[in-house]
């Protein structure tokens, strides 16, 4: 298999230098996922330009924030973003995917199976998994507001060290709502990455880290 010229051109346009073996695995993921997209509504990003400038950019930003050996849960994985590219970019971490819609979870299982990735896929609500499993980091994109996430995880902070949420420009408004609702009480929130999104220079992506205040979350303070 060789690199699709449109994928290579999009990587070059966005100045992303990615090892060829890794780029080929990413390409295989996208091609298999786009195949499933013909039957299921998994993504609207159906060009290499959109995959690179939106999806891959978010995943690369997350990848550098994860420590070696982390156990990571992608909550609300849908089409596999960010969990599957993270598993490809960072083979030293352990990635699990949670997707509550059964047919999407089944497609994700087929995709990771076809790619031969050591990724567990759970057809379940991510917050319910925290009853039985422990993760160092929950990553998530386009699943719920900050307030919603805090509520979901609130009873389970013993099972997770931190959240890394990929957000768009509305994050400030969401943070305000979460504060107003008291959802951020006893939690710390820090913006740990800011980057331009797509071709629109005015549009920014951010990654928010949320962790418990006090002794439990001390190492992130």
Residue number, 123 or 196, with CB nearest to ligand SAM: 123
Q: Shortest approach of ligand SAM to residue 143 CB, angstroms? A: 5
Tell me: does residue 127 bind ligand SAM (CB under 6 A). yes
Among 11, 53, 78, 210, binds ligand SAM (CB under 6 A): 78
Among 85, 126, 205, 212, binds ligand SAM (CB under 6 A): 126
DSSP labels, 46-107:
-SHHHIIIIIIHHHHHHHTTSPTT-EEEEET-TTTTTHHHHHHH-TTSEEEEE-SSHHHHHH
Q: Are 52 and 16 in contact (CB under 8 A)?
A: yes
Q: Shortest approach of ligand SAM to residue 171 CB, angstroms? A: 15
Any binding-site annotation on 168? no
Within 8 A by CB and 6+ apart from 25, the residues are 88, 115
Any binding-site annotation on 127? yes
Q: Residue 163 in 3-state DSSP?
A: strand
Any binding-site annotation on 141? yes
Residue number, 130 or 189, with CB nearest to ligand SAM: 130
DSSP state, 110? Answer: H
Write the binding mask 152 to 171 for ligand SAM: x where contact by CB under 6 A, - elsewhere: --------------------
Residue number, 23 or 130, with CB nearest to ligand SAM: 130
Tell me: does residue 145 bind ligand SAM (CB under 6 A). no
Q: Residue 208 in 3-state DSSP?
A: strand
Residue number, 8 or 177, with CB nearest to ligand SAM: 177
Q: Are 37 and 103 in contact (CB under 8 A)?
A: no
**Rounded distance between C-alpha atoms, residue 107 and residue 19, angstroms:** 27
**Rounded distance between C-alpha atoms, residue 49 and residue 170, angstroms:** 23
Among 9, 50, 142, 197, binds ligand SAM (CB under 6 A): 142
Question: Which residues in the chain belong to E strands, given as ranges?
Answer: 71-75, 94-98, 120-122, 135-141, 160-167, 187-197, 200-212
Residue number, 40 or 69, with CB nearest to ligand SAM: 40
In the bound state, the residue with its beta carbon closest to ligand SAM is 78
Report the 10 Å Cβ neighbour count for 151: 15
Which residues of this chain interact with ligand SAM, rule CB under 6 A?
75-79, 81, 98-101, 104, 125-127, 141-143
Cite the annotated binding site for S-adenosyl-L-methionine by residue number: 76, 126-127, 141
């Amino acid at each position: 298999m060789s690199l699709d010229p449109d994928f290579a051109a999009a990587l070059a346009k966005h100045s992303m230098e990615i090892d060829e073996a890794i780029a080929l695995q990413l390409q295989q993921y996208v091609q298999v996922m786009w195949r499933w997209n013909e039957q299921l509504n998994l993504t609207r990003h159906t060009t290499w330009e959109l995959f690179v400038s939106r999806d891959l950019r978010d995943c690369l930003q997350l990848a550098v924030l994860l420590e070696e050996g982390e156990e990571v849960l992608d909550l609300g994985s849908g089409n596999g973003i960010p969990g599957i590219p993270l598993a490809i970019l960072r083979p030293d971490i352990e990635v699990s995917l949670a997707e509550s819609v059964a047919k999407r979870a089944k497609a994700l299982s087929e995709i990771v199976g076809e790619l031969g990735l050591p990724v567990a896929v759970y057809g379940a609500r991510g917050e319910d998994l925290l009853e039985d499993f422990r993760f160092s980091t929950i990553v998530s994109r386009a699943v719920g507001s900050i307030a919603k996430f805090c509520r979901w995880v609130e009873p389970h902070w013993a099972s997770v060290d931190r959240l890394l949420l990929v957000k768009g420009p509305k994050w400030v408004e969401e943070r305000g709502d979460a504060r107003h609702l008291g959802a951020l009480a006893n939690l710390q929130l820090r913006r740990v990455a800011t980057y331009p999104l797509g071709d629109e220079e005015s549009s920014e992506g951010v990654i928010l880290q949320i962790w418990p205040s006090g002794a439990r979350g001390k190492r992130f303070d």
